[in-house]
Amino acid sequence: MDDAAPVIEVHNLRKVYGTKAAVDGLTLSIPAGCFFGFLGPNGAGKTTTIKMLMGLAPPTEGAIALFGLPMPEKALDIKQQIGLVPDESLLFDHLTGGEFIEFAGRIYQLDRAVARQRTRELLELFELDTAGNKLISEYSKGMRKRVAMAAALIHRPRLFLMDEPFEGVDAVGARLMKDILLDQVRHGATIFLTSHVLDVVERLCDRVAIIRDGKLVIDGSMAELRGEAATLEEAFVKAVGAGRAFGSLNWL
């Protein structure tokens, strides 16, 4: 692949469920090494977009290319280069954290000894080494997110698709995860992140897109997005049209 080619390129992407367009005419081009924030209110189409990028949901219309390869025609080649941290913790509750991470490595065709060694290192990195032999069913939500991120890292992907990775994670865990992600970007990885924690997005991302009702509202650098707004939160509220005045209740 040409290094100058976009890592993610989608054109006129639509996904319709019944009569409802969850994603409606989305066009994006994201370069390598970008920490990209993909924002929107609940139900805007963020998770549906990630599912289409992963090949888990076929688009109704439009084209997707990752690493210059078409999805779904080259899905297997593409997925070998992606690390996924889903919104819902799609983990195997009857495996231990260590078993799940090693299993992920084997899925990505790592040699057993390499997968086992990297699993030990990742458990230590994510401060899960004392819980590595516990069943995932016993993990807190924050611990499950750490395991999911460790599993996403084990094969050294070039692209991370991350749907609310910090949800339920405590401040210490979130700081650790942010430092790891920034280090991945410094080494050339691309990160596609959704999050409702706007101050985290503001600190991490160099480019942001906002969608509303499946349609792209804004796509640009953090500086362009803010414009005259003091914070990303102000820019976001203005972009999604949610800035109506607060109306109090006389009984509250």
pTM: 0.90
| Residue 135: other Cβ atoms inside 10 A | 15
| pLDDT tens digit sequence for 175-206 | 999 999 999 999 999 999 998 888 889 999 99
pLDDT reported for residue 186: 94
Domain ranges of the chain: 90-153
Instruction: Return the half-sphere exposure (C-beta side, CA atoms, 13 A cut-off) of residue 1.
Output: 18
Outline where 59-165 has alpha helix (H). Answer: 75-79, 97-107, 112-125, 141-153
3-state secondary structure of 244: coil
C-alpha distances (whole Å) from 202 to each of 44, 146, 227 are 20, 22, 14
What one-character DSSP code corresponds to residue 157?
Answer: -
Report residue 192 as tokens. Answer: 């596609």
- Spans in the chain with pLDDT lower than 70: 1-4, 88-89, 228, 242-247
Distance CA 157, CA 245 (A): 45
Return the DSSP state at 245. P
Who contacts 134 (Cβ-Cβ below 8 Å, separation ≥6)? 96, 97
Predicted pLDDT at 1? 46
Tell me the two tokens of residue 51: 């599912």
pLDDT number for residue 250: 80
Measured N-to-C along each axis, helices 141-153 and 112-125 cross at an angle, to the nearest 10 degrees, of 140
Straight-line distance from the first to the last Cα atom of the chain, in angstroms, rounded to the nearest whole number = 60
- Based on DSSP, count helices (H) and strands (E) in the chain, helices before strands: 9, 10
> Residue 29 pairs with which residues in a beta bridge?
9
How many Å apart are CA 38 and CA 10, to the nearest integer? 14
Backbone angles phi, psi at 15, to 5 degrees: -135, 120
Q: Over the range 215-245, which residues count as b (16 or more CB within 10 Å of their CB) and which as e?
A: ebbbbeebeebbeeeeebeebbbbbbeeeee
